[in-house]
Structure formats: structure tokens, C-alpha cells
């Protein structure tokens, strides 16, 4: 979904243009959360038409059973697929990726707010990745107690010492939000920003047609017309293609650096196909392949298995368990030292850490990165949840006491990605009681717990019973940017992702087996 920033101000307001279903819609006063839709009147009417799925449809058991059968066939037709757990590296037997029967209601104001702020988050991540003093100071406490973060930071320092070999930077990220609805209003609150292997841009590109079809079969024609077009795969591929083009070698490949078990391969394939349609060759390799066959020539060009690599697109390497040996670390360093464009490079990887997110919430920090753009600072800060340090000292002590006194109001986050890592409620007490007087507590941050309003839906999973469930959703917006030297040549919001899970689960994503894919139905 293209996104352009329009320079200029209306009074103190910020003007953003979002391409909404092929119609440019102007959003005003985004920073304060007050959205006014202008532009073509028809577009504004369409935005406001969608309603939640009626109750009489939701509780009609015979209709639901028929719709579920149709829906499963429809996702297979659209290619919303995953390999089965029993054979994660074979496509002989596949199943549908888990998804909701109906699209979930999302307030249009916060949805458009999330789209509009994404290019600013792209810029922020890129600025952080270039600020070595900020990264060093922000991550000092984390790398003192977290071995994984420390190893990554040592690679970062080595690259800075040697000098970066590549002036092209490619960022493909996803900023994830939940809606805080404590007081009846809906406030957009950022959970995290993923700068590494932001997934489901491929599968989510095909899900709108699935939900449109289901709503039509359910007799909800008007609602079906309000499922948004969404093609993150094309936008993410556009960023990769631009980086490949700037690298300047028609024979060089885009290398997908992938896991040993590849259940989610079809999500990758959508992006691969977009690249092949542009005649950009792709290969799929693992860390072992890089270690065993990779080398740098005298110009620091990276070669793996005989291919010159223009772009390394990391879809693996964000969890400690990936780095099973020194050979894996050596392979990561080899790629970082090369002229190949890394997505993300080591600095951008570090910019997406939880600790950086917490430091950014401190007063005055955003202003450092946007010194003459108070309206941008307002737009970004408007999405922040409460974030608190657990560093040693009075401030960290106060955070510990606050969390232990009211654990149900917070989430305890370690420096880990991939879902299923956070602590809630009594778990927070168990963890903090064990580390509250130790520097080990610095490996975590504390965040306010977001309280969205549950909605009813059906979660369609392989071999799971068909039953109505109280659900919570998480909205993600995809960003793509490319910088060459000091020149930002691309900076776009390229789509969105809605993931939904049962309200009984506190944590976990689609790949973790908890959440399912969804679409927003704007209300």
C-alpha cells in the first residue's frame, strides 16, 4: 500500500496521503490522533461503510460449518499454505496456514494512523542504525548480561572498525500494534518493531480475496467490498529489487538466508516470485552453506556456492538457537563484512532490539533524531506504550517495585524475537524475584500491558474444533526503505498484517502456533 508524505502544514496539523483502495485520502492531525478524512467524497463514504459481521451470522451453526468448508478450500486455491509439522522440508503434503473465518473489526482511525506513521518509523530505524554512540549507550546494560546481544554487538563494532563495505542499506520491517481500549476509546500502542525477518508479507497478500469470498457467501456483500487491497509481497520485493539494482550486477543473486526447517516457505515464495517476475534471480541458502562455500574476493564481493550475492535477505538468524557453533557466527561475520546488501545489516538488527525501544520512549530522545520535526515526534510518540528500564539503580529499582506490586498491569520482555518469550502476571513475579537484586534483570524491559477489547470469531486451524472464540488482534504495518549513501531513494509503507489469537493466550505469533492470519474490517 503506497504511502507518500506531503510536505507543508495546515496550521499545526500534519498532512499525510495514503493510497486507500486506489484512492488518495488525506489524513489530518495524525500526531494528536484526530483524523479527518478528505479527498474524494466517495472514498470517505466507503471507509465508513464497513460494520462487524452480524450476530445472526456468527451463531448460525449450519452456515458456519458450510462457510468453514468453503474458507478452507478458498485459502488452498489462493495459496495461503504452510508445510506440515511432520514434514517441514517437503511440499508433498501441505496444509492451509491458520486463519480467521471472518475479518476482524478494526477502527478506521487507528488503522490509518498506523499506515501514516510507518515511513517515520522507517526513517527512525535507519537513523538509529547510523548512530554508533546512541547504540553503544542504549545497549550497554543489555550486552553486559545477554551473551547473544553481546556477540551481535561485537560484530557491529568490528564492522565499524574495518569500515562498512557497502553504501546501500535495505530495510524491510514491520511495526506491530495492539489497541488499548481501557476507557472505551481505541488508542494505537506499539508492541515492537521487527527489523529482522518480518514475516507473513507473502501469505497476507492473498488473504483479502479469501475473506471477500467468505463474506459474499455469507450474504454480506457490502462488508466484502470493504476488505482492503493488500500486497506486502510486492512492496517488500520492490525494496529488494531496488537494492539489487543499485548493487549493479545483472548476474548477482538475491540470497534468502533460511532456516533448516522451512514450514513457512510459501510466505517466502510469494516474494521470490515477485523478484523472478522482474528477472532478478534468487537462491535459498543456510548458514552452513555460507560457511562451507562462501568467500569474499579482493573487492569484498560475496560468493556463495558459486553465486555472486547482491542482497542477503535474512529470514533466519534472529534467535540464539540458530547460532549453534562458531561456524555459524563466522558465516554471519563473513556476510556482514561483504559488499552485499544485508537485510538487515548488523546495525539495523540492533536498532530493532527491545532495549532500544525502551530508550526511545525517554523524554527528549526522539527529538535527537528529528530535531526540526516536532510533528513527526508527536506522531511516533503517540503510538508508544509505557516502557520502563530495569537497569541497576534507583530508576530500575522503582520499576521492579512497581511490577511486583501490580504484575497484571505489565509485560516483562527479554531481548528475544519469534514469539512466546514474554512474561505475564505471576510469571513476572517469579522472574523478578529471582533477579531483582542482580544485574541479570538488565536483560529485560517492562512495558505497560495493553488491554484490547475481545471480539468473537472462529479460528481455523488444522485438526482443531470449529468453535466461536473470544479473540484479540495485533495489527502490523510493513515498511520498506532503501538508502544509498546519504540519499534515501525509497521509503514506503507497503502493506499491513492482522494476526488474531484466542484471548486465553497472552503471547505467541502465527509461526509459534498461537495466532492466525486475519484481515481488518474497518469500522
- pLDDT, average across residues 229-249: 97
378 close to 32: Cβ distance less than 8 angstroms: yes
415 is in an annotated binding site: yes
416 is in an annotated binding site: yes
What percent of the chain lies above the pLDDT cut of 90?
77
Q: Over 50: is that where the pLDDT of 372 sits? A: yes
- Mean pLDDT comparison of 4-13, 54-63, 182-191, 291-300, highest-scoring range: 291-300
Q: Over 90: is that where the pLDDT of 511 sits? A: no
pLDDT at 165: 87
The DSSP result for 139-156, as a single string, is: HHHHHHH-HHHHHHHHHH
Question: What are the pLDDT digits (tens) for 260-315?
Answer: 999 999 999 999 999 999 999 999 999 999 999 999 999 999 999 999 999 999 99
- pLDDT, average across residues 7-25: 39
The DSSP result for 25-70, as a single string, is: EEEE-GGGT--EEEE-HHHHHHHHH--PPPHHHHT-HHHHHHHHHH
Give Cα 132 distance to the centre of its chain.
24
65 is in an annotated binding site: no
Please count the other Cβ atoms lying within 10 Å of the Cβ belonging to residue 6: 11
| Structural domains of the chain sorted by starting position, each given as residue range(s) with its CATH number in brackets | 15-385+450-522 (no CATH), 386-449 (3.30.1490.50)
83 is in an annotated binding site: no
Q: Over 50: is that where the pLDDT of 208 sits? A: yes
417 is in an annotated binding site: yes
Q: Over 50: is that where the pLDDT of 142 sits? A: yes
pLDDT at 211: 97
Q: Over 90: is that where the pLDDT of 105 sits? A: yes
* C-alpha to C-alpha distance for 506 and 129, rounded to whole angstroms: 31
Q: Over 80: is that where the pLDDT of 503 sits? A: yes
Q: In the structure grid, which three cell numbers stand for residue 344, read together?
A: 538487515
pLDDT at 9: 33
pLDDT at 436: 87
136 is in an annotated binding site: no
Q: Over 70: is that where the pLDDT of 433 sits? A: yes
* C-alpha to C-alpha distance for 81 and 255, rounded to whole angstroms: 22
133 is in an annotated binding site: no
pLDDT at 182: 80
- Comparing CA positions, the residue from 178, 234, 240, 176 lying closest to residue 418 is 176
Cα torsion 376, 111, 208, 464: sign: positive
pLDDT at 212: 96
499 is in an annotated binding site: yes
Catalogue the active-site residues. Answer: 174, 192, 194, 199, 354, 413, 417-418, 499
65 close to 50: Cβ distance less than 8 angstroms: no
Hey, is 194 helix, strand or coil? strand
pLDDT at 235: 98
Q: Model pTM greater than 0.85?
A: yes
Q: How many CA atoms lie within 13 A of 354 on its CB side?
A: 28
> Mean pLDDT, the chain, as a whole number?
88
- Mean pLDDT comparison of 72-76, 392-396, 502-506, highest-scoring range: 72-76
Per-residue pLDDT band for 506 (boundaries 50, 70, 90) equals low
Question: What are the pLDDT digits (tens) for 415-426?
Answer: 877 666 889 889
Kindly report the backbone phi and psi dihedral angles of residue 75, in degrees, each rounded to the nearest multiple of 5, phi listed first.
-70, -30
Kindly report the backbone phi and psi dihedral angles of residue 256, in degrees, each rounded to the nearest multiple of 5, phi listed first.
-80, 115
Hey, is 116 helix, strand or coil? helix
* C-alpha to C-alpha distance for 171 and 193, rounded to whole angstroms: 12
436 is in an annotated binding site: no
pLDDT at 512: 59
Pairing of strands 302-304, 295-296: antiparallel
Amino acid at each position: 500500500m503506497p504511502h507518500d508524505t506531503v510536505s507543508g502544514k495546515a496550521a499545526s496539523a500534519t498532512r499525510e496521503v495514503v493510497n486507500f483502495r486506489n484512492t488518495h485520502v488525506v489524513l489530518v492531525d495524525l500526531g494528536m490522533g484526530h483524523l479527518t478524512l478528505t479527498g474524494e467524497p466517495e472514498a470517505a463514504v466507503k471507509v465508513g461503510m464497513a460494520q462487524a459481521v452480524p450476530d445472526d451470522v456468527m451463531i448460525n451453526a449450519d452456515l458456519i460449518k458450510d462457510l468453514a468448508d468453503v474458507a478452507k478450500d478458498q485459502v488452498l486455491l489462493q495459496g495461503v499454505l504452510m508445510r506440515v509439522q511432520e514434514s517441514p522440508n517437503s511440499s508433498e503434503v501441505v496444509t492451509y496456514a491458520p486463519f480467521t473465518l471472518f475479518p476482524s473489526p478494526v477502527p478506521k482511525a487507528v488503522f490509518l494512523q498506523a499506515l501514516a506513521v510507518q515511513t517515520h518509523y522507517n526513517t527512525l530505524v535507519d537513523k538509529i542504525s547510523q548512530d554508533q554512540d546512541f547504540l553503544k549507550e542504549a545497549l550497554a546494560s543489555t550486552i553486559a548480561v545477554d551473551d547473544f546481544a553481546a556477540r551481535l554487538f561485537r560484530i557491529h563494532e568490528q564492522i565499524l572498525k574495518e569500515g562498512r563495505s557497502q553504501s546501500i542499506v535495505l530495510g524491510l520491517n514491520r511495526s506491530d500494534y495492539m489497541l488499548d481500549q481501557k476507557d472505551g476509546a481505541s488508542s494505537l500502542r506499539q508492541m515492537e518493531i521487527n527489523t529482522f525477518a518480518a514475516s507473513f508479507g507473502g501469505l497476507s497478500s492473498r488473504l483479502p480475496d479469501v475473506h471477500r469470498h467468505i463474506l459474499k457467501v455469507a450474504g454480506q456483500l457490502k462488508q466484502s467490498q470493504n476488505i482492503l487491497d493488500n500486497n506486502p509481497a510486492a512492496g517488500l520485493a520492490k525494496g529488494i529489487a531496488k537494492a539489487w539494482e543499485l548493487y549493479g550486477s545483472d548476474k548477482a543473486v538475491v540470497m534468502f538466508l533460511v532456516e533448516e526447517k522451512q514450514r513457512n516457505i510459501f510466505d517466502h515464495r510469494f516474494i521470490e516470485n515477485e523478484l523472478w517476475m522482474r528477472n532478478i534471480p534468487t537462491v535459498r541458502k543456510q548458514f552452513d552453506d555460507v560457511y562451507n562455500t562462501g568467500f569474499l574476493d579482493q573487492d569484498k564481493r560475496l560468493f556463495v556456492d558459486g553465486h555472486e550475492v547482491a542482497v542477503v535477505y535474512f529470514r533466519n538468524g534472529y534467535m540464539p538457537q540458530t547460532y549453534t557453533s562458531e561456524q555459524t557466527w563466522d558465516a554471519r561475520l563473513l556476510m556482514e563484512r561483504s559488499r552485499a546488501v544485508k537485510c538487515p545489516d548488523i546495525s539495523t538488527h540492533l536498532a530493532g532490539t527491545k532495549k532500544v525501544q525502551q530508550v526511545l520512549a525517554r523524554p527528549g530522545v526522539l527529538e535527537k533524531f528529528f530535531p526540526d520535526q516536532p510533528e513527526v515526534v508527536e506522531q511516533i510518540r503517540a503510538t508508544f506504550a509505557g516502557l520502563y528500564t530495569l537497569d541497576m539503580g534507583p530508576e530500575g529499582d522503582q520499576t521492579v517495585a512497581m511490577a511486583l506490586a501490580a504484575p497484571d498491569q505489565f509485560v516483562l520482555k527479554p531481548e528475544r524475537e519469534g514469539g512466546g518469550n514474554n512474561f505475564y502476571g505471576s510469571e513476572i513475579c517469579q522472574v523478578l524475584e529471582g533477579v531483582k537484586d542482580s544485574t541479570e534483570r538488565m536483560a529485560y524491559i517492562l512495558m505497560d500491558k495493553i488491554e484490547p477489547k475481545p471480539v468473537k470469531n472462529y479460528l481455523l486451524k488444522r485438526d482443531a474444533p470449529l468453535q466461536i472464540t473470544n479473540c484479540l488482534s495485533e495489527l502490523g504495518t510493513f515498511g520498506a526503505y532503501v538508502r544509498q549513501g546519504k540519499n534515501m531513494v525509497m521509503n514506503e509503507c507497503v502493506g499491513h498484517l492482522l494476526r488474531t489469537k484466542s484471548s486465553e493466550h497472552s503471547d505467541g505469533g502465527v509461526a509459534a502456533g498461537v495466532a492466525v492470519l486475519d484481515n481488518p474490517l474497518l469500522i
